[in-house]
Amino acid sequence: MQHMTAPELAQLMQDASQAQPLLLDVRETWEFNTCHIAGAQSIPMNAIPVRHGELDKNRPIVCICHHGARSMQVAHFLERNGFSQIINLTGGVHAWALQVDASMPTY
């Protein structure tokens, strides 16, 4: 598993020459509805064991949660299930709001 900061992810998302990762937001639905990174797909952590088959094992996946702990657990789960391009967003959406998008609500 790799780790990426919010500014690094923002830079990657702006680079059209780079393969764009799936932004997998594993927070609860109410959290996702409160704020999320544009383009993120919501699959709550508790649904990952049932729904991970929906994800492309050949595409880079950035796991996102509030601060980075839940997403790290999901990242480990995905790696154990054959995913090889897994990145955990250090600091989660909270770091994104503080370091990249000051207009994003925090909670």
Q: Which residues are catalytic?
A: 65
Rounded to 5°, angle at Cα 24 from 20 and 28: 155
| Residues forming a β-bridge with 42 | 25
